[in-house]
Amino acid sequence: MTLAFLLAVPAIGSAQAAVYDTLSIVAPTQNETVHDNRGDVAVVVSVSPKLRAGDRVAVLLDGERVASAAGDTIALSGVDRGTHTLRAQIVSPNGTVLSASDPVAFYMWQASRLFPNRRH
């Protein structure tokens, strides 16, 4: 009886197969330093298979959804200097999260008048 139950479990799970095999952030890379005084960051994702019509890629910056697009590149602006964490999600038209990437940490570097270039 236990064997029959164990054989039935995979059949139930396979009926809810995932729509997307992979979703990953390819830029910025893990622990990359982004140099931009305006705080602009281009987030590039890799999705397999390709994004279905109606689905969107949402970008979370430090846990907060800040942008979404129907393509693989999402432009962020006004990101403050410091350490940040990005995560991407594929969201269906009704708002269901279909897939999520692993988090990627990056550093935003911006010039400061407090530390001008020093001449040696």
Mean pLDDT, residues 100-120 taken together:
81
Task: Assess contact for 69 and 57: CB atoms under 8 A.
Answer: yes
Position 19 pLDDT exceeds 80: yes
| CATH number of the domain residue 63 falls in | 2.60.40.10
- The total of structural domains in the chain comes to 1
The answer as to whether 14 is a domain residue is no
List, in order, residues 6 or more apart from 6 with CB less than 8 Å away: none
The answer as to whether 10 is a domain residue is no
The answer as to whether 119 is a domain residue is no
What is the chain's alpha carbon radius of gyration, rounded to the nearest angstrom?
A: 20
Position 6 pLDDT exceeds 60: no
The answer as to whether 99 is a domain residue is yes
The answer as to whether 65 is a domain residue is yes
Q: What backbone phi and psi angles, to 5 degrees, belong to 81?
A: -65, 155
Residue with tokens 């530390």: 115
- Cα separation, 115 vs 118, in Å, equals 8
Position 4 pLDDT exceeds 50: no
User: Which range among 5-9, 56-60, 99-103, 112-116 shows the weakest confidence by mean pLDDT?
Assistant: 5-9
Domain, as residue range, for 83 = 20-109
Query: Helix, strand, or coil here: 62?
Result: coil
The answer as to whether 50 is a domain residue is yes
pTM score, whole prediction: 0.78
